[in-house]
Amino acid sequence: MRLAGKVAIVTGGARGLGLAISTRFAKEGASVVIADLSGADEVAADLVKQGYKALAIQADVSSEESVAAMVEKTVKTCGTVDILVNNAGIASTVMPQPFEELTVKQWRAILDVNTVGLWLCCRAVSPHMRAQKAGRIINLTSSTAIRGAPFMMHYVASKGAVIAMTRALANELGGDNILVNAVAPGYILTDSNVANADMSAKVSAITLQRRPVKRHGYPEDIVGTVVYFASEDAGFVSGEIISIDGGGTYH
């Protein structure tokens, strides 16, 4: 119950890693706002049925209006927002290709969600966190940005921006006791990654070869670090990026 009494927004919280984070946050005592394009109602209803506190909001993080409405509804219903987990992103549908073959449309689609969307969410919650002189923002980046993984330049760039934004925000918001950190997962076997069979087969083999810990990563491997950043255990930690990929990336 390390998050008892806290209100947490988890973007992309209805599936994959976001679902694992939403579920764990609820079990840790938080009132969880599950924000996603679809599926949030079912997840929230299931958590409430189990006796936890959850609210579903349909939200598109790339839309300024949608993000503003998400935060407004959260504050109106739950009273405040203490924790923001920027998990929503485009990842599982990205197919490796040479950077010369990428299109402007592909670049803008990735950046609108993975980078601009994160900024919109942070901007929307900051007035409420500043007013209460407390808050936690946890961003999801990727170990690909640390390694400079080839053939996914637009994705790698979007996640590299998240690392830079995390550090900039930590400095800009620290005076109001708002702590900003990030986790950098390696390749994780979420439902959506597994569903992309061509990508999963290629990346899984390469990833296992590179990792000192010779097993696949699962959403449950990531959530403990996210809870840590959201809890009082990390009350004097900000601007940090933790790689979670079985030792494949040292950072």
Look at residue 83 in the predicted model and tell me its pLDDT. Answer: 98
The arrangement of strands across the sheet holding 135-140 comes to 53-58, 31-36, 7-11, 83-86, 135-140, 178-185, 241-244
Going from the C-alpha of 2 to that of each of 53, 65, 103, 228, 231, the distances in angstroms are 15, 32, 45, 9, 6
User: How do residues 190-221 score in pLDDT, each as one tens digit?
Assistant: 666 656 666 666 666 677 677 778 778 788 99
User: How do residues 20-46 score in pLDDT, each as one tens digit?
Assistant: 999 999 999 999 999 999 999 999 999
Task: Domain 7-244: give its CATH superfamily.
Answer: NAD(P)-binding Rossmann-like Domain (3.40.50.720)
* Contact indicator for 138, 86 with CB cutoff of 8 Å: yes
Which helix (H) or strand (E) element contains residue 234?
Answer: none
DSSP state of 79: S
What percent of the chain is predicted at pLDDT more than 70? 92
Catalytic-role residue among 52, 155, 187, 228: 155
End-to-end CA, the chain: 30
Report phi then psi at 10, rounded to 5: -120, 110
Quote the pTM value.
0.93
Interatomic CA distance for residues 82 and 69, integer angstroms? 17
Q: Specify whether 155 is catalytic.
A: yes
What is the dihedral sign for C-alpha 184, 185, 186, 191? negative
Closest CA to 10 of 1, 158, 19, 2: 19
- How many residues are recorded in the chain? 251
- Average pLDDT (177-189) is 90
